[in-house]
Amino acid sequence: MTDTPRHPPITPAVRDVIPQVISSRQIYSGKIVDLRVDQIVLPHGGTAFREVVQHPGAIVVAALDAEEHVYLVRQYRHPIGRYLLELPAGGLEPGEEPLAAAQRELREEVGLVADRWDHLGSFYSTPGYVSEVLHAFLARDLREVGPDPDDDEDIVVVRYPLRRLLQHPQDVPDAKTLATLLLVDIVRQGDVANTT
């Protein structure tokens, strides 16, 4: 006895077809995100509903000082009901370039400005249901100017050895922080290789 497939097999030619949206309904519009429900046509011809959290994008900054320490922020995250240590991060304002947002967030949250900026890359935070793309930056040659957090932010800045974070990633269970630290480590290894 053989199992009959529920749907016809998807051929390689069909596999990369972008599903067509046949209906879309916005069900929430907020300060940071919007939520919509799309009905799409699947590659095999059926339809499905997809909930999509629309996000304007964000930045995350690894500020690395001359002693190889990075600056983290400890703040309360209400959706999970706990405090986390994270790299400084924040959403893009309308029309704002990612580098300008990174410079703004580092100054506001940590009170630092940097003379050297490297774009480490961009990645999706949770592409299964959120459109947010994060732009990761490495900031070096740091100078203190004093923090200026938003009125609703209660942030504690923590200076932390980068080597320890890379050896104990469980200390920062935040995906954007972990991904960015991995990118920083790759860049640092390349810097060392280029100087030898």
The catalytic residue positions are 153
Contact 19, 38 (CB under 8 A): no
Residue 38: which of 51, 56, 19, 57 has the closest Cα? Answer: 51
Contact 70, 61 (CB under 8 A): no
3-state percent breakdown (helix, strand, coil) of the chain, nearest 5: 25, 40, 35
Q: Which residue do the tokens 């995100």 mark?
A: 33
Q: Which residues are CB-neighbours of 82 under 8 A, at least 6 positions away?
A: 76
Contact 109, 61 (CB under 8 A): no
Element (H, E) at 164: helix 162-167
